[in-house]
A and B are shown apart, each in its own frame.
Chain A
Amino acid sequence: GAVVSQHPSWVICKSGTSVKIECRSLDFQATTMFWYRQFPKQSLMLMATSNEGSKATYEQGVEKDKFLINHASLTLSTLTVTSAHPEDSSFYICSVSLASYEQYFGPGTRLTVT
């Protein structure tokens, strides 16, 4: 498998501010990482595919200017929620995918916007 970490595990921010979430692949060089969002009692929804050294690919309905993704190295992808609002409060989870298609997820980041 692969070991994935996220930082921070939880964050509270005020409405209108920006928050950065880090996703690290600790034992695997990931050219591709994925970012998901999960609202309470709902399943995971893919937000975007993060590609090392190139632009992220966003799913339909996800605002790329609001959710900035940077995949600057093979072990780190960051998601920045810009001008956060209470409706952005959610559980954000990243994953890496092996060549065998298995995906390994980070522990998630709980974002609360007040």
Chain B
Amino acid sequence: SQKIEQNSEALNIQEGKTATLTCNYTNYSPAYLQWYRQDPGRGPVFLLLIRENEKEKRKERLKVTFDTTLKQSLFHITASQPADSATYLCALGIAAGNKLTFGGGTRVLVKP
């Protein structure tokens, strides 16, 4: 069966450190993978998209890697800040129909 797995345990991290989140998938052949941030009671906010033929993408303090052999994406927040505290969702997409399937999300708590 198809699965998208993210660490369900919250990630507690000290301010200034790098937070690394994982997204593993099975029985998918995604054309792209996206990362979103979600705050309680709010809709997800788009952060980064990485395509199957890309290894790495960066945006400010965020970095995403995509390994289609390992079927894994890593999401890094460098120099983390308390304002980065939120739940981070990965989502896999296929080109046809633009539909996304979401992982369960990982909650990040950055302590000052």
**Does A104 lie at the interface of the complex (its beta carbon under 8 Å from any beta carbon of B)?**
yes
**Does A70 lie at the interface of the complex (its beta carbon under 8 Å from any beta carbon of B)?**
no
Interface residues of A in 72-114 (CB under 8 A from B): 91, 93, 95, 97, 100-108, 110
Q: Assess the B100–A43 pair: CB atoms within 8 A.
A: no
Number of interface residues of A (CB under 8 A): 25
Q: Assess the B100–A93 pair: CB atoms within 8 A.
A: no
Please tell me which one of the listed residues A34, A42, A101, A110 contacts residue B32 in the complex, with CB atoms under 8 A apart.
A101
Judged by DSSP, the binding face of A is: strand
Q: Assess the B46–A43 pair: CB atoms within 8 A.
A: no
User: A-facing mask of B81-112, CB < 8 A → 1, else 0?
Assistant: 00000000101010101111111110000000
Q: Which residues of A contact B (CB under 8 A)?
A: 1, 4, 6, 32, 34, 42-46, 49, 91, 93, 95, 97, 100-108, 110
Q: Which residues of B contact A (CB under 8 A)?
A: 31-32, 34, 36, 41-46, 49, 89, 91, 93, 95, 97-105
27 contacts between A and B (CB under 8 A): A4-B43, A6-B43, A32-B98, A34-B100, A43-B103, A43-B104, A43-B105, A44-B44, A44-B89, A44-B102, A45-B102, A46-B101, A49-B97, A91-B41, A93-B43, A97-B98, A101-B98, A102-B34, A102-B49, A103-B91, A103-B98, A104-B46, A105-B43, A105-B46, A107-B42, A107-B43, A110-B41
